[in-house]
Amino acid sequence: MAASCIAFGQISSLITVSNGVQIEITADLGKPTGQEQLTVEMARASGNSFYRIFRDQNKLAVFAYELTVDLASGGNALVATAKPVENEFAARYPNADAGKPVPSLSADHPLGSLSSGESAFLGLFEIPGMGIKLTDTIRVKLNQRGGGAGSLRLAGVRVSLNRQPISGPAPPASVAGKFVMFYLPGHGGFFFSAGPVTGWPFEDVGTIEGSRLRFTVNNENYECVASQPILAQGENGQVWVYNDPSYVPESNWTQDPRSGEQGTEQFFTAASDSLGWWLK
């Protein structure tokens, strides 16, 4: 789970998946006076949904909702719905608002089917006298070949385990972000960062040499060879690695829109600015 300050202006959360799906969520505060300092957290709720949690300077949740996003049949759009947080959220965050129920949406808000380039706007809450009128904007891009800017990039990557290829064909699109990951059927999810990560058991067990990434997990040696440099400037460096062997993609974001095949047992890569997109 990651938090970003939105005391002034806007803050965006971005995810890219190697099937060409890109989702950007931008929070806009309105015109705050500066009396209230807010942060936003993006935390995984389920396979296809996320909690958006807004906290004040005292770390108390002033608002939260759940956003579900699914790839539409045919792969040419995403279907999004904003929902109130309910019992599962309260059980997971019992003291989010000092034991009181966290304010949320009053009912489900279907945001419709969003084709590439389209956006949906969601009004959330206001704080009178402080200039805060918070909205979220959900923007979708599909079939993007590039992965945007980021400290790590996975493009055309192929994975070998103990010198034996195991990943199958390279994904059709590249991904880039603060965190990158790939899913290997039978091996779970592998998550990577260019620096130490607080709150998760990342280990400094990998090295990057241009377009080649090597790391060791559970006494097994992995090698990833990409079609482009993995670090932004093409340099060499270290990489921190976390392997969750139980990770299985629950949503259909990993489906390749071109083929219509379900991606739950296919190798895929993804990137985000927050681990909360993938990990509970």
Residues 68 and 179 in one domain: no
Residues 15 and 136 in one domain: yes
Residues 87 and 183 in one domain: no
Q: Is residue 85 part of a domain?
A: yes
Residues 98 and 163 in one domain: no
Residues 24 and 137 in one domain: yes
Count other Cβ atoms within 10 Å, centred on residue 125: 15
Count other Cβ atoms within 10 Å, centred on residue 156: 17
Residue whose C-alpha is closest to residue 116's, from 143, 138, 146: 143
d(C-alpha 83, C-alpha 6), whole Å: 22
Residue 219: predicted pLDDT: 92
Residues 195 and 73 in one domain: no
Residue whose C-alpha is closest to residue 268's, from 280, 278, 253: 253
d(C-alpha 50, C-alpha 120), whole Å: 16
Residues 38 and 59 in one domain: yes
d(C-alpha 171, C-alpha 258), whole Å: 12
Q: End of a domain among 96, 121, 141?
A: 141
d(C-alpha 37, C-alpha 55), whole Å: 8
Q: Is residue 273 part of a domain?
A: yes
Residues 84 and 183 in one domain: no
d(C-alpha 89, C-alpha 123), whole Å: 21
Q: Is residue 264 part of a domain?
A: yes
Residue 56: predicted pLDDT: 87
Q: Is residue 147 part of a domain?
A: no
Q: Percent of the chain having pLDDT more than 90?
A: 53
Tokens encoding 114 = 């969003």
Q: Is residue 188 part of a domain?
A: yes
Mean pLDDT (whole number) for 164-175? 88
Count other Cβ atoms within 10 Å, centred on residue 37: 14
Q: End of a domain among 94, 110, 141?
A: 141
Asked if pLDDT for residue 259 goes beyond 60, the answer is no
d(C-alpha 263, C-alpha 269), whole Å: 11
Q: Is residue 223 part of a domain?
A: yes
Whether 112 and 236 have beta carbons less than 8 Å apart is answered as no
**3 state DSSP class of 252:** coil
Q: Is residue 68 part of a domain?
A: yes
Residue holding tokens 């070998």? 160
Which range is least confidently modeled, 4-8, 64-68, 156-160, 216-220? 4-8
Residue 276: predicted pLDDT: 85
What is the number of domains present in the chain? 2
Model confidence pLDDT, tens digit, residues 85-131: 999 999 999 999 988 999 999 999 999 999 999 999 999 988 887 77
Model confidence pLDDT, tens digit, residues 12-61: 888 888 888 889 999 988 776 666 678 888 888 988 899 999 998 899 99
Residues 133 and 68 in one domain: yes
**Domain encompassing residue 165:** 152-277
Q: What is the pLDDT of the chain when averaged over all its residues?
A: 86
Residues 132 and 246 in one domain: no
Residues in a beta bridge with 22:
16, 141
Residues 104 and 72 in one domain: yes
Q: Is residue 146 part of a domain?
A: no
Q: End of a domain among 141, 165, 189?
A: 141
Distances (CA, A) of 160 to 37, 79, 222: 47, 35, 6
Residues 263 and 158 in one domain: yes
d(C-alpha 23, C-alpha 48), whole Å: 13
Whether 162 and 36 have beta carbons less than 8 Å apart is answered as no
